Structure 1
Amino acid sequence: MAGDAVVLTVPGPHGDREIRISSPGRILWPELGITKLDLANYIVEVGDAFVRANGDRPVSLQRFPEGIDGEQFFSKNPPRGAPDFIRAVPVVYPSARSHPQLVIDEPAAAVWAVQMNTIVFHPWPSRAEDSDNPDQLRIDLDPQPGTGFADAVPAAIELRRVLGEAGLDAFIKTSGNRGLHVFAPIEPAHEFLEVRHAVIAAARELERRMPEKVTTAWWKEERGERIFVDFNQANRDRTMAGAYSPRALAHAPVATPVTWDELESVDPRDFTILTVPDRLRSVGDPWESFGEKPGRIDTLLEWWQRDTENGLGELPFPPDYPKMPGEPPRVQPSRAKKV
């Protein structure tokens, strides 16, 4: 109802903006009683760090009109009725179709997205003005059944060493669930497929060093109780929950940047909508300097070429992708043996 709406004043680079929040008392996280207004206020509190991490990028919105237990959908086109200060840029999807996607340039844009029932924000790894060429290399360390966050930590630490040997400065954040996301700022000099190959090269090097703990096996039946290095998150139109984005899980977790020094002592369950604003005020933003010294992926691409010459070629793409050059058959190994 219109009478239930409240108006939030959101500071930003162009001054204060007034953002109307309808149904502010709608419960989004039932176990904790966190409301739509609580989420909007969270975004206001973390606004500068949120925009620093996710701004000036095409972003997909994961929207939950009835809260985390209700129906959800992704908005890739900007929702109707966007204020005039919110922009969109055209991006090209794997299908070769082009559509506009929302760009967040200031905290008020993210608060407006909350008004449109967004809970999770999924930014692209490329800038709005050059969406075909990522300026972030992203690696998702995904615990498999029988493993957990504690198992992902040593893999992340070793991955940092791998990337450092390739000339890249790695940053890390919790996924908001059980995994870890390792990012490295890179020069936007290569398109998505080449960046994917760089990620695969780094993943294979990590797997060689930790074969009992880490796997690049795409098929779940081959992964075992290891950390899966999800190389396909490096593909075009594949995104992760952005830094400081909430997640749609019962305890209202947040994908939270951490320092490498604190990684071995943190518990990702401690980072929630209720706690992260205080953490930012007391600890600061571990990603504040992200992007100041972008590296190049030339060394990783040399590793990719070396591995290719040694018989390690392309890996499977997601099932909704068109068949890609050099890709192995998209057949589950156990089924392929029966053919």
Structure 2
Amino acid sequence: MADLLDTYRRKRDFSRTPEPAGGTGDDSDRPRFVVQRHRASSLHYDLRFEIEGVLVSWAVPKGPTLDPEVRRLAMHVEDHPVEYLHFEGVIPSGEYGGGDVIVWDTGTWEPVRTKDPGRAVRDGELHAEVHGQKLRGRLVLVRTKEDGGKESWMLLHKHDDHAVEGWDPEDHPRSVLSGRTNDEVAEDPDRTWSSGADAAEAEQLLVPDPLPAEAIDALADLGKSGTWEVHGRSLKVTNLDKVLFPGDPPVTKRELLAYTARIAPVVLPYVEGRALNLHRYPDGADAKGFWHKARPDHAPDWVGAWDNPAADPGETSTYVVADEPAALVWAANFGALEWHPWTSRTDEPDEPTYALVDIDPGEGTGWDEVLTLARLHRTALEHLGVTARAKVTGSRGIQIWIPVVAGYTFDDTRAWVEKLSRTVGKVVPELVSWKWEVKARGGKARLDFTQNAINKTLVAPYSPRPRAGAPVSVPISWSELDDPDLRPDRWTIRTVLDRIAERGDPFRALLGSAQELPEIT
């Protein structure tokens, strides 16, 4: 087994290249694949399948496609270590394969027509059912020529439900991990590997550094109230042992503040520079909550503020703006169990930066039906070449965020999302109602495009929800819509931090990915 990587290692100087030296390992229960867009001496795509403890690899000059009428040349190259699955960065000039690399797609796969994919490769024909964020359906690799140790193969996509005629990989240029293009990686290769480190420690994820343990220990050492030094601010915290979320054991305010302090740096890019609507439950999630939009006079000076010039008499005129992590901790201490940022920024309040799809289940809507609607939106967005990400709500539904360039109005985004969702709704009319009144929907789901309006908000990524166990609204990758264990309230404030430490933040792909919305015909 160790010999499988000899060729890979001989070609590389690991004192210079950030690529992982890696090793062989056991096959995963759900084997993975990756496609890397690699600009070396020439642009090509590297297609790699996890087989027999390594990544069996092909270089595909024109890239894989969903178009079943297209045949691609694929050159069989040396096996790579499994740690290469998430390699993204710049290989130095002069090194083998020198150039920039992004993770263009990744996911899981299943061998078809064989229980021994290694043998299938050696025999010259591999059939693979792939479950990626861009590539889905049946891929087939067939060896066509052997010449002096070099193997030419043909890559094609079968005619199946995932086939898309005319589909071009170059229309989808961004990394599914970081949301960056090859140009952006070349300019700032901040997702790097530490060669020689253990696989679990090698990858540096694109999430902020964790809060020092000393800060959490200091909170634990306080009595029922006190002053807590957190994120460089002094914050007076109160009623720390009050139960805010029922559960076994129940979640106290102390635990909520500890979670908020840890998650705030991750949440910050999605709330900073935006007015914040707070859903307050000062007596806990079991009691009635209320919306609080006005920044209170007693808020510390360092909690940001925005005066809304368009506020009518009697409307909220000054909002909280969380421009630093400590401001979210203050909001949680203020009894805000949910955080809802505006879709627009305070510098251009009439211009949304996201278009929003809200899959709102009805009384008769099952989770499988919610997933069906989300997958149909995924297919439609991929077909349109639109960068978007979904998140489970922590309650019953799924929401999809689509970053847009400056200049759109809320009327624009609302009309576009309405057209998108009505197109999806036509596929499964038995699941969807367009009635405004809940009672008139007959228990069906609503695809709520009306959330695309000024001062209408959806819950922030990683915000808690006011329910037993403190569930959290969590971003997911597109491929996770096919995870049989996915549930809308799968993660809580006690479990989501481990997920982020392991997988990073899927919504990071939205940052820097503002795009024009294509016409929907």
Report the structure, 1 or 2, having the larger strand content: 2
Distance 1:152 1:207 in 2: 12
Q: Deviations over 1:32-61 (max 9, x none)?
A: 421111111001111221112222211101
Q: Deviations over 1:207-245 (max 9, x none)?
A: 122222333332335533532101221122211111100
Q: Deviations over 1:154-186 (max 9, x none)?
A: 211211232344442111101110100011000
Aligned match of 1:259: 477
Aligned match of 1:242: 460
Tell me: CA distance 1:25–1:93, structure 2 relative to 1, closer, same or farther (3 Å).
farther
Q: Percent identity?
A: 30
Aligned match of 2:259: 42
Aligned residues: 296
Given that 2:354 and 2:404 are in contact with CA atoms closer than 8 Å, whether structure 1 keeps it comes out as yes
TM-score after normalising by structure 2 = 0.54
Task: Indicate the RMSD between aligned Cα atoms, in angstroms.
Answer: 2.2
1:4 counterpart SS class: coil
1:133-152 to 2 correspondence within 5 Å?
133-152=351-370
Given that 2:357 and 2:448 are in contact with CA atoms closer than 8 Å, whether structure 1 keeps it comes out as yes
Aligned match of 2:250: 33
1:263-302 to 2 correspondence within 5 Å?
263-265=481-483, 266-297=486-517, 299-300=519-520
Q: CA offset at residue 197 of structure 1?
A: 1.4
Given that 1:174 and 1:258 are in contact with CA atoms closer than 8 Å, whether structure 2 keeps it comes out as yes
Aligned match of 2:372: 154
Say which one has the larger Rg: 2
Aligned match of 1:58: 275
Report the structure, 1 or 2, having the larger helix content: 1
Match of 1:69 among 267, 276, 286: 286
| Matching residue's letter, 1:29 | F
Distance 2:242 2:426 in 1: 49
1:1-339 to 2 correspondence within 5 Å?
4-11=224-231, 16-31=232-247, 32-91=249-308, 99-265=317-483, 266-297=486-517, 299-300=519-520
Q: CA offset at residue 91 of structure 1?
A: 3.2
Given that 1:46 and 1:280 are in contact with CA atoms closer than 8 Å, whether structure 2 keeps it comes out as no
Greater Cα offset, 274-283 or 226-235: 226-235
Given that 1:53 and 1:287 are in contact with CA atoms closer than 8 Å, whether structure 2 keeps it comes out as no
Distance 2:370 2:272 in 1: 28
Q: CA offset at residue 272 of structure 1?
A: 0.6
Distance 1:281 1:81 in 2: 35
1:268 counterpart SS class: coil
Greater Cα offset, 51-60 or 245-254: 51-60
1:299 counterpart SS class: coil
Q: CA offset at residue 120 of structure 1?
A: 0.5
1:46 counterpart SS class: helix
Given that 1:141 and 1:230 are in contact with CA atoms closer than 8 Å, whether structure 2 keeps it comes out as yes
Residue ranges of structure 2 left out of the alignment (5+ in a row): 1-221
Aligned match of 1:313: none
Aligned match of 2:82: none
| Matching residue's letter, 1:6 | G
2:405 counterpart SS class: coil
Q: CA offset at residue 92 of structure 1?
A: 6.3
Q: Deviations over 1:310-333 (max 9, x none)?
A: xxxxxxxxxxxxxxxxxxxxxxxx
Aligned match of 1:331: none
Given that 1:196 and 1:231 are in contact with CA atoms closer than 8 Å, whether structure 2 keeps it comes out as yes
Q: CA offset at residue 261 of structure 1?
A: 1.2
Aligned match of 2:12: none
| Matching residue's letter, 1:91 | N
Q: CA offset at residue 289 of structure 1?
A: 2.5
Distance 1:282 1:135 in 2: 29
| Matching residue's letter, 2:423 | E
Distance 1:156 1:94 in 2: 35
Given that 1:77 and 1:99 are in contact with CA atoms closer than 8 Å, whether structure 2 keeps it comes out as yes
Q: Deviations over 1:66-90 (max 9, x none)?
A: 1112232211111222222221113
Given that 1:123 and 1:241 are in contact with CA atoms closer than 8 Å, whether structure 2 keeps it comes out as yes
| Matching residue's letter, 1:290 | L
Tell me: CA distance 1:121–1:204, structure 2 relative to 1, closer, same or farther (3 Å).
same
Greater length-normalized contact order (CA 8 Å, ≥ 6 residues apart) = 1
| Matching residue's letter, 2:393 | S
Q: CA offset at residue 109 of structure 1?
A: 0.2
Given that 1:54 and 1:243 are in contact with CA atoms closer than 8 Å, whether structure 2 keeps it comes out as no
Q: Deviations over 1:99-157 (max 9, x none)?
A: 12111111100001111111111111111211111000011101112213221112112
